[in-house]
């Protein structure tokens, strides 16, 4: 047996069916959001009504799983009521934790619902012990979701310097820009990631065949990539597009369309004191959720038992079949 403490496996759900799938596949907790702009995955057809969330919480609790409500976008002045109502609804439903990014909404939860467990969203961009401790001391935050920019040794140092739990992303999309501080989408589309909860809205994405049998990908009026035949590509975002500079042509200026996969680093993360391992992908299908959650369940259980898991299936599921350990492995990623 290993002496590693088995971490909580936190899984995404964009629909009630996905939530049930995640719970059945072995998730310890599932995170999801309400329909509309109050969360950072405000996509058409995605997310929960209050009734759906209430039923989902009951389903999860019956199977000893928890549900976390992501209310993690930034309400603009004059429209905070919707966000407050979402917090009230989540508390009313009996949610296990609310995940907040906005400092004002953190205050609202702490003042209006002092007994409600509060998590700090990755969208808050709290990347240092000092920043995290500010939220812990002011708003009694119980867990921080760390930005995907720290190495494992840095995570360990953060862990040793803060008074709350750490949740770390281990799989899925890798956002290149500091979360909660990116207005690239708004610059091009007029829709704000922070204020409206949408990055690269599908309504503004366009694929246009070009003369070389490739596809030019556009967001709004700007070409953000050109995909030639046979190339696989992930969902188009500005930070994973190809551009020209004076020094380098036709290259991924920010990051390639690759996915984060930290399966191999799981034991290190567990040793670093990470309480919860988070899988990205509330926009993903049930089939995807089932495969990824089951595979991670097996991997975490194997590592905790001191065994070496089979991770070939997880690698096949990564975006464009390319994977990375991102910032977590070494500083050279930066």
Partner 1 sequence: MSAQLTLGPVQYNWAPEDWRDFYFKVADETPVETVFIGEVICSKRAPLYDNQLPDVVERLHDAGKHVIFSTLSEVTTDIDRRLVKRIAQSEGFPIEANDVSALQQMAAGPHHIGPLMNCYNEEALEVYAANGAKSICLNPEMPRVGIAALAEAAERHGVELEVQVYGRMSLALSARCYHARAHNRTKDSCLFVCDEDPDGMRLDTLEGDQFLTVNGIQTQSHSVLNLIDCLDDLQSIGINRFRISPQSIGTFTAIQAFDDVLNDRISPSEALKKMRDDSVDAPFSNGFYHQRPGYEWHDKVPAE
Q: Which is nearer to partner 1, 78 or 209 (CB)?
A: 78
Distance of CA 174 to the CA centre of its chain: 8
Is residue 33 a contact residue for partner 1 (CB under 8 A)? no
Tell me which residues in 228-267 interact with partner 1 (CB under 8 A): 238-239, 242-248, 250-251, 253-255
- Three-state DSSP at 69 gives strand
Q: Are strands 259-261 and 323-324 parallel, antiparallel or unpaired?
A: parallel
Is residue 85 a contact residue for partner 1 (CB under 8 A)? no
Tell me which residues in 118-137 interact with partner 1 (CB under 8 A): 124, 126-131, 133-135, 137
Is residue 100 a contact residue for partner 1 (CB under 8 A)? no
Minimum distance from CB of 201 to partner 1 (Å)? 12
Residue in 130, 172, 129 with CA at minimum distance from that of residue 148: 172
Minimum distance from CB of 157 to partner 1 (Å)? 8
Residue in 129, 139, 134, 133 with CA at minimum distance from that of residue 98: 139
- Three-state DSSP at 272 gives coil
Is residue 212 a contact residue for partner 1 (CB under 8 A)? no
- Assess contact for 258 and 323: CB atoms under 8 A: yes
Half-sphere exposure for 275 (CA within 13 Å, toward CB): 16
Is residue 209 a contact residue for partner 1 (CB under 8 A)? no
Tell me which residues in 38-77 interact with partner 1 (CB under 8 A): 74-77
Is residue 291 a contact residue for partner 1 (CB under 8 A)? no
Phi and psi at residue 96, to the nearest 5°: -80, -30
Tell me which residues in 145-174 interact with partner 1 (CB under 8 A): 147, 149-150, 154
Minimum distance from CB of 285 to partner 1 (Å)? 29
């Amino acid at each position: 047996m290993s002496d590693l403490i088995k971490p909580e496996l936190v899984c995404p759900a964009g629909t009630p069916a996905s939530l049930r799938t995640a719970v059945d596949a072995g998730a310890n907790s599932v995170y999801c959001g309400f329909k509309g702009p109050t969360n950072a995955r405000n996509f058409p057809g995605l997310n929960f009504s209050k009734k759906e969330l209430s039923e989902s919480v009951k389903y999860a609790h019956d199977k000893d799983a928890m549900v976390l409500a992501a209310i993690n976008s930034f309400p603009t002045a004059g429209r905070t009521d919707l966000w407050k109502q979402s917090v009230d609804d989540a508390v009313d439903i009996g949610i296990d934790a609310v995940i907040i990014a906005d400092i004002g909404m953190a205050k609202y939860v702490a003042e209006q619902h002092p007994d409600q467990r509060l998590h700090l969203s990755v969208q808050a961009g709290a990347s240092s012990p000092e920043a995290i401790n500010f939220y812990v001391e002011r708003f009694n935050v119980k867990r921080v979701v760390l930005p995907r920019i720290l190495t494992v040794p840095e995570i360990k140092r953060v862990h040793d310097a803060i008074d709350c739990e750490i949740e770390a992303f281990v799989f899925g999309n890798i956002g290149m820009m500091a979360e909660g501080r990116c207005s690239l989408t708004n610059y091009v589309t007029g829709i704000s990631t922070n204020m409206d909860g949408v990055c690269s809205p599908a309504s503004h994405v366009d694929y246009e065949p070009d003369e070389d049998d490739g596809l030019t990908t556009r967001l709004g009026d700007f070409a953000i990539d050109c995909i030639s035949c046979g190339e696989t590509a992930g969902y188009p975002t500005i930070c994973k597009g190809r551009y020209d500079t004076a020094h380098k042509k036709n290259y991924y200026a920010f990051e390639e369309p690759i996915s984060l996969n930290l399966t191999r680093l799981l034991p290190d993360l567990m040793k670093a004191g990470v309480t919860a391992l988070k899988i990205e992908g509330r926009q993903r299908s049930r089939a995807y959720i089932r495969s990824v959650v089951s595979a991670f369940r097996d991997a975490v259980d194997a590592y905790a038992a001191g065994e070496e898991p089979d991770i070939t299936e997880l690698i096949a599921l990564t975006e464009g079949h390319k994977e990375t350990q991102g910032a977590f492995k070494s500083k050279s990623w930066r």
